[in-house]
Copies of this chain bind each other. A is one copy, B any other.
């Protein structure tokens, strides 16, 4: 594992600790700054090793949660060393030879992948999870999405910024934010990432391009606006979808409910919808406020919340690993001990789901 001490890496470690048989089968890599530090995994202390090409030799599977430039520099060496590589960063996602995978949606892309398998951007993952059952049933033509994104998406320092800036605001003292360029306490910031084409930000363009790639349909049109809100964890989204044939609210509820990884919370009552405060720590994508679009006969609109560190990042990466392990167990002679342990867990999970 590369990047185990970051916001997503910590959750990945927690998730993997719950899986039996992995305690001695992981090693942890980091750049020179963190190499040599210690980390407890499944009750055993590990020394974080230096991230360098030689570290990948003899490894089955690499899960990387690092900044784009670290992935760019080191992951090709992991592929060259024969590892399966799952990358949380944005760097390789849109590369034509890279699979961009949500296991509930396009597992075959992970299985067919020759090189890096990328996990999508957090705000994209929950959106595409919600779109997939509608796309299968009625063909999604257009998506308008506005996000309410938590600060944990900006890493551990993002959360520190929100907590410290809020405390300072209440006390009347000052705090110099480290990651957000505008005040985050009691404010909303309509910019995530740098500005790219046509005035859209990088976070917004990820929603456009990654959605199309994961659903395998470049004709889907997406109009996104990404906004940072003073919430610690869990991204929320308002989503408007136009489909080729109209999908009624009752049908949409059935489609969402039947889709693995989605939970519908939709009652016309106070609290009868998902909110960030209730969704932290869950691996699911929550959908509520499902309504007919009042502005288009083929439109449907809803509210979607998910833990951006879980299904939006760590959970999805580990689900990809389990998928690879399960496939390797069924089809290949060569599969290593990490895959074996993950595969056992994978069988348990799929049994629980049935």
Chain A residues within 8 Å of B, Cβ to Cβ:
142-144, 146, 148, 162-163, 166-167, 170, 181-183, 186-191, 195, 198-200, 208, 221-225, 227, 229-232, 236, 238, 240, 249, 268-271, 273, 275-277, 288-296, 299, 301, 303
| Between-chain CB contacts (< 8 Å), 28 pairs | A142-B296, A143-B295, A148-B148, A148-B229, A167-B170, A182-B271, A183-B277, A186-B232, A186-B276, A187-B275, A188-B231, A188-B236, A189-B275, A190-B236, A190-B238, A190-B275, A190-B303, A198-B294, A199-B249, A199-B289, A200-B291, A222-B294, A223-B295, A225-B289, A225-B301, A227-B236, A229-B230, A230-B230
Give me 12 other A-B pairs in contact (C-beta within 8 A), A166-B170, A229-B229 excluded: A148-B148, A183-B275, A183-B277, A188-B229, A191-B270, A198-B292, A199-B268, A221-B294, A222-B294, A223-B240, A223-B295, A227-B238
Known: A199-B268, A229-B229. A275 touches B188 (CB 8 A): yes
State in angstroms the CA–CA spacing of A276 and B183 once bound together.
Answer: 10
The answer on a CB contact under 8 Å between B186 and A230 is yes
A257 to B: closest C-beta gap in Å: 16
**Other-chain contact of A268, B187, B195, B208 (Cβ < 8 Å):** B195
Which of B186, B190, B236 is within 8 Å of A289, CB to CB? B190
Copies in the complex: 2
Residues of B within 8 A of A291 (CB): 198-200
Given A294-B198, A295-B143, A296-B142: A231 touches B187 (CB 8 Å cut-off): yes
Chain B residues positioned under 8 Å from A270 (CB to CB): 181-182, 191
A227/B299 contact (C-beta < 8 A), A236-B190, A275-B190, A291-B198 known: no
- Cβ–Cβ < 8 Å partners of A277 in chain B: 182-183, 186-187
For A164, give the chain B residue with the smallest CB separation: B170
Q: How far is the CB of A157 from chain B (nearest CB, A)?
A: 16
Contacts A182-B275, A221-B295 hold; do A269 and B195 have CB atoms under 8 A apart? yes
CB–CB A223/B143 < 8 A: no
Is the Cβ of A191 less than 8 Å from the Cβ of B238?
A: no
| Bound-state Cα–Cα, A289 to B191, Å | 9
Q: Chain B residues with Cβ under 8 A from A208's Cβ?
A: 294
Give the distance in Å from the alpha carbon of A154 to the alpha carbon of B222 in the complex: 33
> Measured between C-beta atoms, what is the minimum distance from A140 to chain B in Å?
11
